[in-house]
Structure 1
Amino acid sequence: MAKSRNPAEVKAAKAEAKAARKAASKQRRSQLWQAFQIQRKEDKRLLPYMIGVFVLIVGASVASGLYAGGFTMYMMIPLGVLLGGLVAFIIFGRRAQKSVYRKAEGQTGAAAWALENLRGKWRVTPGVSATGHFDAVHRVIGRPGVIFVGEGSAARVKPLLAQEKKRTARLVGDVPIYDIVIGNGDGEVPLSKLERHLGKLPANITVKQMDSLESRLAALGTKVGPAAMPKGPMPAGAKMRGVQRTVRRK
């Protein structure tokens, strides 16, 4: 039988948990403030947009309150401040995200990094296939089915995509298989629009079917393996000899 803790221990545990939450919250605020400062220096339009939308929404709320009069007037002012702050924060988040994708675009490993940061129920396996030049194919399992995302030279990636689709089709049956090439050419999907593109694909299978697919496809393994993939976007000109040797040995 588990020994119950005395009130002093319970109180100490609660205090410790509260302190941990407070420290985590402080760290998040600090990171957010640092991100804002960096983005503000790089994006000269950020502050004018944030201030402009805040003033516009607060002004509209005050005007509506004055027009309505009575108790509504006092409610509209704080509501306008909250709404204006929220919209300004959304603008900051979207412009910061756009800036991050713009910097990552064209860098080795950028697609894998973007896929692993997808929101929602996506099962991502980076580097299921790659070349010695670090063109890579990543596998994504989601409600649409199986999606292969290629990054690198389109001429080298397309044969890899065809190979992965062929060997995967033997295991998935009638489950739809999609292929995407990251880039800015004809028929390609820009990195910044990858998440939106995936979100527009139709839902063809259930979450339960996703679990089954993930188990079956795990048997295929990968030709590269996550360990050989960069942990994030690699700037152009970065030293890749060791990584390329790893890919060639696979």
Structure 2
Amino acid sequence: MSAAQPEVPAGRIAQMRQAFTMTRRTDRALPLYMLLAFLVVGGLFVGLSLWIFGTGVLGIIMSVVLALFGGTLGALIIFGKRAEKAAYAQVEGQIGAGASVLTMLRRGWVTKPAVAFNRQQDVVHRVVGRPGVILVGEGSPGGVRQLLSSERKKHARIVGADVPIHEVVVGRGEGQVPVTKLVKHVRKMKKAIKPAQVTEVVSRTKALDAMRPPAPMPRGPVPTSMRGHRKAMRG
């Protein structure tokens, strides 16, 4: 166990370095923003420390320590936000981008990519959570709407009338949700069922999936999960 422990921080540093490199490719101003955050937040901590501890030896020592801590924290926060924005930009427009982004939903959400798919590469993903069943469509507006309508009828027959079914179309057209705002949009949906019902609904949807052949993911460059990218940003 002791031999494996040193690999953990090294792995985290490597992940953060990789995330930084990937982000800088599309965000050249990232180092400047991180430096500004370090200086501004660090300066605020210096002022606060001197106000609390005074200008003596203790005050100077605490100012240096808190400035380094606060500045580093501020820089990491800016890094995380801009890295997440860059990650969204990299997957937007790619086939399966919605499924990739939906993996960022954590505890309390159950995501099933590609529950329905057609030859035109339109695809529907499913998310189950406190708002109920959320069907997320990607592709051409007409094809996606037909898929969503079909899936809504299938899910309505098994989840029950008391479980809401929501439809979301990923895109930048009217009535659509950009992939950059998809997770936030889903999280802001009004809670309508209890946690115990979520478990029951997940079981019922699994039964529905078992009654039909699995839908293959569309051909083309499917972006990798953003969960690992975000984990790297957190360190």
Paired position in structure 1 for 2:175: 187
User: Corresponding residue for 1:163?
Assistant: 150
Q: State the shift of 1:64 in Å.
A: 2.7
Matched with 1:122 is 109
Q: Deviation at 1:156? A: 0.6
Cα displacement string for residues 187-232 of structure 1 (whole angstroms, at most 9, x for unaligned residues):
1000011111011011222222111111111111175626x22699
Query: Hey, what's the Cα distance between the residues in 2 that align with 1:157 and 1:130?
Result: 9
What SS class does the counterpart of residue 19 from structure 1 fall into? coil
- Give distance in 1, aligned partners of 2:48 and 2:205: 58
How far apart are residue 41 of structure 1 and its match?
4.1
Identity %: 43
Identify which of 221, 225, 238 aligns with 2:214. Answer: 225
Residue identity matched to 1:225: P
Residue equivalent to 1:31? 15
Moved more, 146-155 or 170-179: 170-179
* Residues 1:132 and 2:119 aligned together: yes
Query: Which amino acid in 1 is paired with 2:124?
Result: V
Kindly indicate whether residue 67 of structure 2 is the aligned counterpart of residue 80 of structure 1.
yes
- Decide which structure has the larger Cα Rg and report it: 1
Is the Cα–Cα contact under 8 Å of residues 126 and 225 in structure 1 kept in the other structure? no
Q: How many residues are paired up?
A: 218
- The equivalent of 1:5 in structure 2 is none
Whether 1:52 and 2:41 are equivalent positions in the alignment is no
Residues 105, 191 of structure 1: 8 Å contact kept? yes
Deviations 1:144-165 (A, max 9, x none): 1100000011111011111111
CA distance in 2, matches of 1:202, 1:123: 16
What's the offset of the Cα at 1:233? 5.0
Question: What residue identity is the alignment partner of 2:22?
Answer: I
Partner of 1:200: 188
TM-score (norm 2): 0.84
Could you say which residue in structure 2 is the equivalent of 1:67? 51
Structure 2 distance, partners of 1:92, 1:232, is 30
CA separation of 1:147/1:50 partners in 2, compared to 1, >3 Å: closer, same or farther? same
- C-alpha distance in 2, partners of 1:206/1:219? 20
Contact 2:122 2:143 in 1 (8 A): yes
State the Cα RMSD in Å: 2.2
| Separation in 1, partners of 2:48, 2:11 | 38
Q: Quick one: distance in 2 between partners of 1:104 and 1:37? A: 16
Q: Does the Cα contact within 8 Å between 2:117 and 2:217 map onto a contact in 1?
A: no
Which shows bigger deviation, 104-113 or 68-77?
A: 68-77
Q: How far off is 1:28 after superposition?
A: 2.1
Give distance in 1, aligned partners of 2:132 and 2:124: 16
Aligned partners of 2:219 and 2:70: how far apart in 1?
Answer: 37
In structure 2, relative to structure 1, the CA distance for the partners of 1:193 and 1:125 (3 Å cut) is same
TM-score, reference length from structure 1: 0.79
Return 5+ residue gaps in structure 1 as ranges.
1-16, 236-250
The answer to which structure, 1 or 2, has the higher relative contact order (CA under 8 A, 6+ apart) is 2
**Cα–Cα, structure 1 residues 224 and 126, in superposed 2: closer, same or farther, change >3 Å?**
farther
Moved over 6 A (4+): none
2:2 aligns to what?
Answer: 18
SS where residue 200 of structure 2 aligns? helix
CA distance in structure 2 between the aligned counterparts of 1:186 and 1:229, rounded to whole angstroms: 26
